[in-house]
C-alpha cells in the first residue's frame, strides 16, 4: 500500500470560546488523553481559549523537544471542551476517506513519537510544528478496513477499561472494610457483632482527641515499621547501569502504571551501581510509596528491587500485611499530603512520615482476620492486572501492524 501525506487529509481549526459557553478546561497528558486542567483559572479570560469539538484533535507541539513525544488527543468525551490558546486544534477534512479514530491509532504508535522527536532534532526551527505533522506519511486503507482496525483496537481497549473498573471496585471494597474496622471501630467482637455499636468499651484519648477502643495503643509509624529510602547511582558511570538486572524504581514507574503489583521497571542498575549509591535492596513484598511531586502513589514490589530517592519504602512486617499497610496509606493520604513541604515541588520527609500516629489494636488476631477478608480481593486484582498487561501488549501489536497494512 502506498503512503499518503497527512497534510492532504487534515486542516487547522480556530474556534475561540468567545461567548464563554464552555467552561470545561482540559489539559493534555503524555498518555495522549485529556486530563482535568490543574491551572488556576480564577480571573482568567477563558474567551481566548480554543474550543475542541467532538471528533477534533488538539496537540502541544512545544512539548515534543522536551518529552520526546507529541501530546495529541482526539476529543471523544461526548462534549466540547476548551484548551490552552498555545495548543493547536485540527480536524480530518473528509471522514469518508480517513476516520479520526484510525488516525488517533497512528498517533499512539511509539514509532510516530520517535519520528516526531527525530524531526525536532533535524528541524531548522528547532521543533516539531504543524508543517512537520503535515509531512507525516501513513497508509490509508479503505474506510471499511479502517473501521475494522478501529473496532479490533476498541474491543481490547474496552476490556482493559472494564478490568480497571473491576480493580477499582475490589480496592474500594477492601478500603470500606478497613474504614469500618479501624476507623469506625466496628470490627467484630467476640460474638461476631460490630464492636462499637454493640456497646464495646470506648475511652477518650487526649493525643488523638477522640474515643478509641479500650486497650488500643497510640504509636507512630516509626515505632512499628522499618522504613527505607532510596538512591540513584551516578548516571555518567556506565558500569552502574549497563546490562543491569536489579529493578530500580523511579516515581514515573508508578505514575504511568495503574497496577498495584509491580514486576518490572524501566531502568535497572548493576551490583556496582547498588554498591556505590544510597540505593538499598528491598525484599519482595515491600510497600513502595512515592514521596515527592506525586505523593502517595503505592505499589508492592513482587521482585527484590531498589528505588531512587523519591520514595519512602515500608519493609514487610510479620503482623501487618502489605494489604493492611496499603489500606492504611490510602486512608491517611490527607495527613501525608499535609506534612509535605517544598518550594519547587512538594515532598514528605522520612522523619515526617515516621511521626504519623498509628493506632494499634490490643488484639493482634484482628489483623489476621482482616487479611483473611481482603486477601482474595487483592489476589483478584493481581490476576486482573496480569490479564490487562497481556491486553496492553496486544494493543501494541495491533498498532505496530498499522505500518504493514494491505488493501
pLDDT digits (tens, 9 = 90+) for 251-289: 999 988 889 999 999 999 999 999 999 999 999 999 999
Rounded-to-integer distance, Cα 275 and Cα 65, Å: 35
**How confident is the model over 378-400, as pLDDT tens digits?**
999 999 999 999 999 999 999 98
325 closest CA partner among 280, 370, 272: 370
Rounded-to-integer distance, Cα 10 and Cα 315, Å: 53
407: confidence class by pLDDT, cuts 50, 70, 90: very low
Rounded-to-integer distance, Cα 298 and Cα 287, Å: 7
Mean of the per-residue pLDDT values for the chain?
Answer: 93
CATH 3.40.50.300 assigned to 167-387 = no
Rounded-to-integer distance, Cα 157 and Cα 76, Å: 14
In this predicted structure, the answer to whether residue 9 has a pLDDT above a threshold of 70 is yes
Query: What angle (nearest 5°) sits at the alpha carbon of residue 72, between those of residues 70 and 77?
Result: 160
Rounded-to-integer distance, Cα 171 and Cα 164, Å: 11
**How confident is the model over 232-249, as pLDDT tens digits?**
999 999 999 999 999 999
Residues of the chain with CATH 3.90.220.20: 3-140, 167-387
CB count within 10 Å of CB 195 equals 19
Tell which wins on pLDDT, 36 or 323: 323
161 closest CA partner among 384, 393, 394: 384
CATH, domain range 3-140: 3.90.220.20
State the pLDDT at residue 40: 67
Cβ burial 92-112 (10 Å sphere, 16+ → b, else e): beebeebbbbbbbbbbbbeeb
| Mean pLDDT within 284-304 | 95
Tell which wins on pLDDT, 383 or 129: 383
Query: Is residue 291 within 8 Å of 265, Cβ to Cβ?
Result: no
| Mean pLDDT within 145-160 | 96
Rounded-to-integer distance, Cα 10 and Cα 90, Å: 7
Cβ burial 386-395 (10 Å sphere, 16+ → b, else e): eebeebeebb
38: confidence class by pLDDT, cuts 50, 70, 90: low
State the pLDDT at residue 68: 86
Query: Is residue 59 within 8 Å of 33, Cβ to Cβ?
Result: no
Q: Among all chains, which residue has been given the C-alpha cell 486512608?
A: 331
Q: What contacts 184, CB < 8 A, 6 or more positions away?
A: 196
Q: Among all chains, which residue has been given the C-alpha cell 499497610?
A: 325
229 closest CA partner among 306, 292, 162: 306
Rounded-to-integer distance, Cα 45 and Cα 42, Å: 9
In this predicted structure, the answer to whether residue 176 has a pLDDT above a threshold of 80 is yes
With helix as H, strand as E and coil as C, how does the chain read? CCEEEHHHCEEEECCECCCCCCCCEEEECCCCCEEECCCCCCCCCHHHCEEECCCCEEECHHHHHHHCCCCEEECCCCCCEEECCCCEEEEECCCCCCCHHHHHHHHHCHHHHHHHHHHHHHCCCCCCCHHHHHCCEEECCCHHHHHHHHHHHHHHHHHHHHHHHHHHHHHHHHHHHHHHHHCCCCCECCCCCECCCCCCCEEEECCCCEEEECCCEEEEHHHHCCEECCCCCCCCCHHHCCCCCEEEECHHHHHCCCCCEECCCCEEECHHHHHCCCCCCECCCCEEEECECCCCCEEEECCCEEECCCEEEECCCCCCCHHHHHHHHHHCHHHHHHCCECCCCCECCHHHHHCCEEEECCCCHHHHHHHHHHHHHHHHHHHHHHHHHHHHHHHHHHHHHHHHCCC
**How confident is the model over 68-106, as pLDDT tens digits?**
889 999 999 999 999 999 999 999 999 999 999 999 999
Amino acid at each position: 500500500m502506498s503512503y499518503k501525506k497527512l497534510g492532504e487529509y487534515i486542516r487547522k481549526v480556530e474556534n475561540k470560546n468567545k461567548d464563554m459557553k464552555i467552561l470545561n478546561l482540559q489539559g493534555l497528558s503524555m498518555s495522549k488523553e485529556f486530563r482535568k486542567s490543574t491551572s488556576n483559572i480564577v480571573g482568567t479570560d477563558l474567551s481566548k481559549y480554543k474550543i475542541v469539538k467532538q471528533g477534533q484533535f488538539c496537540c502541544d507541539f512545544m512539548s515534543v523537544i522536551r518529552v520526546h513525544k507529541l501530546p495529541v488527543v482526539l476529543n471523544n468525551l461526548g462534549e466540547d471542551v476548551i484548551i490552552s490558546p498555545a495548543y493547536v486544534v485540527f480536524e480530518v477534512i473528509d471522514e469518508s476517506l480517513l476516520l479520526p479514530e484510525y488516525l488517533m491509532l497512528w498517533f499512539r504508535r511509539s514509532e510516530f513519537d520517535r519520528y516526531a522527536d527525530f524531526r525536532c532534532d533535524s528541524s531548522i526551527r528547532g521543533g516539531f510544528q504543524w508543517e512537520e505533522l503535515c509531512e507525516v506519511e501513513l497508509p490509508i486503507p479503505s474506510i471499511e478496513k479502517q473501521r475494522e482496525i478501529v473496532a479490533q483496537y476498541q474491543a481490547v481497549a474496552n476490556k482493559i477499561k472494564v478490568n480497571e473498573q473491576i480493580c477499582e471496585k475490589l480496592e474500594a471494597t477492601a478500603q470500606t472494610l478497613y474504614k469500618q474496622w479501624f476507623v469506625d471501630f466496628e470490627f467484630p467482637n467476640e460474638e461476631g457483632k460490630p464492636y462499637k455499636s454493640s456497646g464495646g468499651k470506648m475511652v477518650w484519648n487526649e493525643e488523638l482527641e477522640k474515643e478509641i477502643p479500650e486497650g488500643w495503643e497510640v504509636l507512630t509509624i516509626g515505632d512499628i515499621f522499618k522504613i527505607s529510602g532510596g538512591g540513584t547511582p551516578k548516571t555518567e558511570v556506565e558500569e552502574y547501569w549497563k546490562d543491569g538486572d536489579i529493578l530500580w524504581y523511579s516515581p514515573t514507574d508508578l505514575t504511568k502504571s495503574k497496577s498495584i503489583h509491580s514486576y518490572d521497571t524501566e531502568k535497572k542498575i548493576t551490583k556496582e551501581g547498588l554498591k556505590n549509591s544510597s540505593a538499598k535492596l528491598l525484599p519482595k513484598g515491600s510497600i513502595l510509596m512515592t514521596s515527592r511531586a506525586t505523593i502517595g502513589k503505592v505499589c508492592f514490589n513482587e521482585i527484590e528491587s531498589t528505588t531512587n530517592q523519591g520514595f519512602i519504602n515500608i519493609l514487610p512486617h510479620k503482623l501487618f500485611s502489605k494489604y493492611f499497610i496499603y489500606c492504611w496509606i490510602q486512608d491517611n493520604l490527607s495527613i501525608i499530603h499535609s506534612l509535605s513541604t517544598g518550594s519547587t515541588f512538594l515532598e514528605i520527609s522520612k522523619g515526617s512520615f515516621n511521626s504519623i500516629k498509628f493506632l494499634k489494636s490490643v488484639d493482634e488476631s484482628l489483623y489476621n482476620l482482616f487479611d483473611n477478608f481482603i486477601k482474595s480481593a487483592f489476589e483478584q486484582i493481581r490476576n486482573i492486572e496480569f490479564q490487562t498487561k497481556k491486553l496492553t501488549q496486544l494493543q501494541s501489536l495491533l498498532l505496530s501492524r498499522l505500518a504493514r497494512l494491505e488493501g
